Chains A and B, each alone.
Chain A
Amino acid sequence: MSSSNDNLFGLHTQALDLWQRRSEVLASNLANADTPGYLARDVNFKQALASASGQSDGLAMTITQPGQINPQAQAATQLAYRVPTQPTMDGNTVDAQTEQANFAANGVHYQASLCFITAQIHMLRTAITGGQ
């Protein structure tokens, strides 16, 4: 059942999950806009989605010995640090305007993914009921 779900909704179920996670990170950045020493972070969305959907560019590293660090376990979920445009004296790298813009865009993307899923459900329902 889960594989047919994936086919029906495409990447959007995974994308929803990632948009949600990203909004969490951006909310943390905004909440800590005045915390000294806080470093703003973000999700590398393209890379995370590629690895969530099982397609990544380049050769992946593998484990040959037990006890080696598993590269698959980290790479995708790792958060990146934002490069500050205006360094502050207290070490905080949050730029409230950038975070606000990112948060708004993130919300719209989330809604777009929701719309795609809803459209698919409508299509399926139409197919089941024969358009009645």
Chain B
Amino acid sequence: MSMFKIFDVAGSGMAAQSLRLNTVASNLANADSVSGTPEGAYRAKEPLFSAVQRALGGANNAEGDSSVGVQVKGVTESQADVQARYEPGNPMADGNGYVYGSNVNPIDELVNMISASRSYQNNVEVMNTTKQLMLKTLDLGK
């Protein structure tokens, strides 16, 4: 029953997209956090996806390359410049009176969030359809 592979593939897609949603949430939550040093400032996190071949059960001679899941290679940090603000009254300010904000771009994050949720929904739909087809197959001949 090779249809079970679809659950693995769609599941890996959902896991990847939910991780993307997770990074968006932490980026947005930290959009206004400040630090006393440029190194300590919050940098936007971005997940890195890659396709992974699912060779399950060793039977990958002819159709092993037909199902390709998503693998999360890791989470990278944005290398964009952090913004320095002159706020001498801020308790976090350094010797020159500067605080360093995050380099999160809220618009990027919102676009990412919508894209991730749409992709997640796609994968859910694939899973639902596959489940219905499998149940119908079980009813074959009735």
Chain A residues at the B interface, C-beta cutoff of 8 Å: 20-21, 23-28, 30-38, 43, 73, 77, 79, 96, 100, 103-104, 107, 110-111, 114, 117-118, 121
Contacts and interface: CB of A to CB of B under 8 A. Distances in A.
Interface band, chain B: 35 or more
A103 B49 CA distance: 23
Interface in B10-35: 10, 12-13, 16-17, 20
Interface SS majority for chain B: helix
Interface of B: 2-3, 5-6, 9-10, 12-13, 16-17, 20, 49-51, 62-63, 65-70, 115-116, 118-119, 122-123, 125-126, 129-130, 132-133, 136-137, 140-142
Contacts, number: 101
Q: Is the interface of A mostly helix, strand, loop or mixed?
A: helix
A20 B3 contact: yes
Given A96-B122, A121-B141, A35 B70 contact: yes
A68 B51 CA distance: 32
